[in-house]
Amino acid sequence: MATSAIGPGFLTQTTVFTQQHAAAFSFAILVSILLDIGAQVNIWRILTVSQSRAQDLANALLPGLGYFLALLVVLGGLVFNIANIGGCGLGLQALFGLDTLYGAILSGAISLFIFWMKEAGNAMDQFTRYLGILMVLLTLYVAVSSHPPVIDAMRQMVWPDRIDTKSIITLVGGTVGGYISFAGAHRLLDAGIGGPESIPQVNRSATKGILITGVMRILLFLAALGVVTAGVKLDSGNPAAAVFRSAAGEIGYRFFGMVMWSAAITSVVGAAYTSVSFLKTFHPFIAKNEKWFITFFIVFSTVIFAAVGNPVQLLIIAGALNGLILPVALAVMLLAAYNKRLVQGYNHPLLLSLIGWIVVLIMGCLSILTLKEWLV
């Protein structure tokens, strides 16, 4: 879940919003972390206790509801995947100076190779894991060396000069929106972790996943804040990479390109796999031809990106759109928790339900405000 969240969208969104809102963005980060925990703990507990996938649980609650939920998640996953392909292009641009369009098309082909060759996929997972550790260390170095105004950021974390609803929606959507939170719960079910006895482990896993992404978000924010505060104007075509070039030189810039590409290309395969998993239980034909559906999903995402372009804007939109989906998806899960037959007699804690409905209410209101802003 954490590696799905810390992808190209995560890196780009954090940098763009830091550039736009400076220290005031720290408030959005704090609020998003709290909303993330409230949403993810509820979703993971309900799904693992019921031992059902989200779409099946929704259909059992109300016939047809699972199809609607799957449609939302797959559409959100498609937008995420188009943006991930764009993130691959940004990574290769920083690494080799390759045009983002050609880098995206090449990465789409490589992602198909990784998907069809299991050994390549396993090697890529290991490679990305080690690169992720190095990325955290590099980001920590940049955060320290860029000398960000930490005191001002801490003040504005609780008393911001301004509040931007779009940034909160985008951060939450990029961390637990759309397919990501369901992907984590489904992976637990695939690992045989389910039933009421699994609750302590599920709580720890859900909370740790969010805290890992939160720490990385704060480090990246401080790194970007220090660079922006120093008066450096970031490249609008690849703002996250520009932060590392400014603070860590050409080596840091190239390394960041490698990190971004590896994070993006594994996210391409992961998003496609999870999105199709929401469909395969609906018809035997989909389950039988799952690999071909995933292949089509990746190819279609690459073609759409080639037609649309603008990877930075797509990475922002992907997070925002999946943030709009979250209140609907979380509300469905909370309603299912009240049905004792579906959750095997499990009593969902009143406090946790209350937190979940507060998240639904806040995200719903922020979604309306954000939509009004877009339409105006």
**Averaged pLDDT, 24-31:** 95
Tell how far CA 150 is from the center of its chain. Answer: 26
**Helices (H), ranges, the chain:** 2-5, 8-21, 25-50, 54-61, 65-96, 100-116, 118-145, 150-158, 165-176, 180-190, 199-229, 239-277, 284-288, 290-308, 311-337, 350-375
Q: What is the DSSP string of 155-211?
A: HHHHS-S---HHHHHHHHHHHHSTTHHHHHHHHHHHTT--SGGGHHHHHHHHHHHHH
Q: Is the dihedral of CA 339, 342, 348, 352 positive or negative?
A: negative
Q: Is residue 77 within 8 Å of 228, Cβ to Cβ?
A: no
Q: Quote the CATH superfamily of domain 1-375.
A: Amino acid/polyamine transporter I (1.20.1740.10)
CA pair distance 324, 173, nearest whole angstrom: 7
Q: What is the maximum alpha-carbon separation in the chain? A: 59
Query: Of 21-30, 109-118, 214-223, which gets the smallest average pLDDT?
Result: 109-118
> Which two three-digit tokens encode residue 286?
């989909």
The arithmetic mean of pLDDT across residues 233-243, rounded, is: 87
The predicted model gives 240-260 an average pLDDT of 86
| Alpha carbons 33 and 60: distance in angstroms, whole number | 31
Q: How far apart are CA 260 and CA 238, in angstroms?
A: 11
Alpha carbon distance 251, 14 (integer Å): 22
Phi first, then psi, for residue 161 (nearest 5°) are -70, -30
Supply angle C-alpha 87, 128, 325, rounded to 5: 50
Taking phi over 0 as left and psi of -120 to 50 as alpha, with beta for the rest, 309 belongs to left
Q: Is the pLDDT of residue 189 over 90?
A: no
Residues 95, 261: Cα–Cα separation, whole Å: 9
At residue 195, does pLDDT exceed 80? yes
Q: How far is CA 13 from CA 169, 361, 363, in A?
A: 11, 24, 18
Taking the C-alpha atoms of residue 132 and residue 110, their distance in angstroms, rounded to an integer, is: 20
Quote the pTM value: 0.88
Please compute the mean of the pLDDT values over residues 104-109 and round it to a whole number: 94
Confidence of residue 152 (pLDDT cuts 50, 70, 90): very high
Q: Domain coordinates of the chain in residue numbers?
A: 1-375
User: Is pLDDT at 249 greater than 70 in this prediction?
Assistant: yes
Place 150 in a pLDDT band, splitting at 50, 70 and 90: very high
- For the segment 319-361, what is each residue's pLDDT rounded down to a tens digit? 888 888 899 999 999 999 999 889 888 899 999 999 999 999 9
Mean pLDDT for the chain overall: 88
Residues 6+ apart with CB under 8 A from 343: 46, 49, 50, 336, 337
CA nearest neighbour of 238 among 318, 312, 317, 320: 312
Query: Counting every residue, how long is the chain?
Result: 376
